[in-house]
Amino acid sequence: MALLDENRLFSPDPVLRGLSRTLYDSVRDLPIISPHGHTDPQWFAENAAFPDPARLFVTPDHYVFRMLHSQGVPLEAMGVPRADGGETEQDPRTIWRLFASGYHLFRGTPTRLWVDHALQEVFGVTERLSPETADSIYDRIDDCLKQDAFRPRALFERFNIEAISTTESAIDDLKWHRMIRDSGWSGKVITAYRPDAVVDPEFQGFAANVEKIGEMAGEDATTWQGYLAAHRNRRAYFKEFGATSSDHGHPTARTEDLPQDVAASLFDKALRGACTEDEADAFRGHMLTEMARMSLDDGLVLQIHPGSARNHSDPIMARFGRDKGYDIPTRTDYVHALRPLLNAVGERSDLTIILFTLDETSYARELAPLAGVYPALKLGPPWWFHDSYEGMMRFREMATETAGFYNTVGFNDDTRAFCSIPARHDVARRVDCAFLANLIATGRLAEDEAFEVAHDLAYRLAKQAYRL
């Protein structure tokens, strides 16, 4: 018995299935390029065993615990840590059984596919997770985790990861990355420059963070020029640890290209905590343009991840803090929002700006037309809630006709769920091959070209776009 269908995500039509299969077989074993994600560099630095099945699959995975919670399971019961230090379930087997008893909730979701893939391919499980099988599967995983072959570096190698990027705050000391580098291990784990804490006036502790970045950079970051210099310094430092990109998660896609004196005076207000909401948004928007200008100098790829209404529930935020599954996509305008940035640097073909969206309505209407003309712009793959079979298919169907394949940048998994990485790349490769099979079968693409595109989407485009 197997949890996974060998031909999953391919159409049952024999023509389409045959084409999909042949294309997929040509890319399935390519190394994984993971240029954007949230794995923990400490794993690779220390190479300690993962503690237990629950803390590997349930507690850290917001896709998992949000679904269980939606049906009434308290976050505490899944061991999600309380911000207020309150009690939570500590027994991993109890948490695992809860997961097993709610496993039917994931029917038809990508989580089901990712978890089944990890269970079968990583841990050799062949029975469906259920209340009846919960314990035996728990035991099997737990046994594995005690073996060296299941430590982070071993899995990294087994997953055939050619390069992976984590994401660190601009004021992170990168000690884990240093430890990885100093260890002499050959795995390519790089960082990415995420400056939200020091470019968002509404970020908790903004002024202190700015002071900190100044200290780290040896600049007086409380002046506008010193602040910019500190960014440049830190970007260079991140580049020492392999960084090839910066990453920006703003509530909107707003950009600004303000005169320097206006920007400087907004920065002063921000430091004094005196910005209005609109001014904070304008400052964040202006900093995207500043970052793009720095990219022209230092070559970092600029990633923009806008449009998440974060921490939607006040009671959950108060009790558990950030990142608890309560970040909800919102309608996002790009056409007007990106104009200042694009007027400033959009025509530069030596710059790469990678756009993501949580608003699928923008694929065909805004993002593909923009990426299909501006030399600097490329489209990131489907993101968060949309990094699924249907979501990826909609992306190709809506973006390809106007942006083509070559204004997209392949796949990235964007995950902190380590064991799901091969699963996610496998899903992306299968969906792309299924999409290409349909193009061939409907006379929209020649077969020899489809093989080239399949390879590009699975490997080359990510490598090129992220300069890896």
Cβ 380 vs Cβ 433: under 8 Å? no
In whole angstroms, give the CA distance from residue 254 to residue 281. Answer: 7
CB of 438 to a copy of itself, least distance (A): 8
Q: What gap in Å lies between CA 50 and CA 90, rounded to an integer?
A: 16
Span of 11-19, 246-254, 271-279, 281-289 interacting with a copy of itself by CB under 8 A = 11-19
Restricted to residues 125-144, the positions that interact with a copy of itself (CB under 8 A) are 128
Is residue 397 a contact residue for a copy of itself (CB under 8 A)? Answer: yes
> Residue 24 to residues 3, 426, 442, 454: CA-CA distances in angstroms?
19, 9, 18, 8
Part of the chain binding a copy of itself (CB under 8 A), chosen from 219-227, 258-266, 333-341, 409-417: 333-341
Site for a copy of itself contains 16 (CB under 8 A)? yes
Which listed residue (402, 451, 460, 464) binds a copy of itself by CB under 8 A?
402
CA-to-CA distance for 271 and 200, rounded, in angstroms? 10
**Pick from 392, 316, 322: nearest CA to 360:** 392
293-312: which residues touch a copy of itself (CB under 8 A)? 309, 312
**Using CB under 8 A as the criterion, what x/- string covers residues 52-71 for binding a copy of itself?**
--------------xx-xxx
Which residues, other chains included, contact 256 with Cβ-Cβ below 8 Å and sequence gap of 6+? 282, 283, 285, 286, 288, 289, 340
- Residue 160 in contact with residue 28, Cβ under 8 Å? no
Shortest spacing between CB 396 and a copy of itself, in angstroms: 8
8 lies in the site for a copy of itself, by CB under 8 A? yes
- The mark string for 216-255 relative to a copy of itself (x by CB under 8 A, - otherwise) is ----------------------------------------
Dist. CA 20–CA 431, nearest whole Å: 9
Q: Of 7, 26, 120, 233, which one interacts with a copy of itself (CB under 8 A)? A: 7
Backbone dihedral angles phi then psi of residue 308, each to the nearest 5 degrees? -100, 125
User: Could you tell me which of 238, 236, 215, 241 has the C-alpha nearest to residue 227?
Assistant: 215
Closest separation in Å from C-beta 397 to a copy of itself: 5
Q: How far is the CB of 209 from a copy of itself (least distance, A)?
A: 27
Q: Which of 169, 295, 400, 415 binds a copy of itself (CB under 8 A)?
A: 400
What residue type is 387 in one-letter code?
A: D
Binders of a copy of itself among 143-172, rule CB under 8 A?
none
193 forms beta bridges with: 168, 246
Q: Which stretch binds a copy of itself (CB under 8 A): 156-164, 200-208, 279-287, 356-364?
A: 356-364
According to the binding rule CB under 8 A, does residue 277 interact with a copy of itself? no
Residue type at 22 in one-letter notation: T
Phi, psi of 128 (to 5 degrees): -65, 140
In angstroms, what is the minimal distance from the CB of 387 to a copy of itself?
10
Does 375 participate in binding a copy of itself (rule CB under 8 A)?
yes
Kindly report the length of the chain: 468
Q: Are 166 and 192 in contact (CB under 8 A)?
A: yes
77 counts as binding a copy of itself under rule CB under 8 A: no
Shortest Cβ 361–a copy of itself spacing (Å): 5
85-124 residues near a copy of itself, rule: CB under 8 A: 104-110, 112-113
How far apart, in Å, do the first and last CA atoms of the chain sit?
Answer: 39
User: In the structure encoding, which two tokens stand for residue 109, read together?
Assistant: 């979701």
Binding mask 417-456 for a copy of itself (x = CB under 8 A): ----------------------x-xxxxxx--x--xx---
